[in-house]
């Protein structure tokens, strides 16, 4: 809006003098400074948050891989125990 005010001042004054454009330009500069005061900490905070989320995601991936490796190694070391096989009964001979 400050730039619009500056151009409006140029139009009403008819000449490009400092008095015509100074109020609008100063308003635009103040608004820009306020925007930077808000934007810079927001960008820094966003970058820190995303870095932490990336690190957390990487740690969860590592944990998942380690868990799967531990499960696979446990399966290889001790094979699943099989239930005891029933002993075959003695073959009975039929007599007539």
Boundaries of every domain in the chain: 2-74
Under a CB-based contact definition with an 8 Å cutoff, are residues 34 and 19 in contact? no
Smallest Cα–Cα separation from 9: which of 17, 22, 21, 18?
21
* Angle at alpha carbon of residue 86, lines to 81 and 89, rounded to 5°: 160
Mean pLDDT to the nearest integer, 37-57? 97
Cα 35 to its chain centre, rounded Å, is 25
Q: Is the pLDDT of residue 43 over 90?
A: yes
Give the pTM.
0.52
CA distance to 15, 31, 91, per residue, from 9 (Å): 9, 18, 116
pLDDT for res 12: 74
pLDDT for res 66: 96
Token duo for residue 83:
């239930």
Residue 88's pLDDT band, with cuts at 50, 70 and 90, is low
């Amino acid at each position: 809006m400050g730039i619009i005010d500056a151009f409006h001042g140029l139009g009403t004054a008819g000449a490009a003098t400092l008095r015509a454009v100074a109020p609008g330009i100063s308003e635009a500069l103040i608004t820009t400074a306020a925007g930077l005061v808000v934007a810079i900490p927001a960008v820094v905070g966003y970058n820190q948050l995303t870095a932490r989320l990336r690190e957390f995601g990487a740690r969860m991936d590592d944990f998942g891989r380690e868990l799967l490796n531990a499960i696979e190694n446990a399966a290889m070391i001790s094979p699943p125990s099989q239930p005891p096989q029933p002993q075959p009964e003695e073959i009975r001979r039929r007599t007539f």
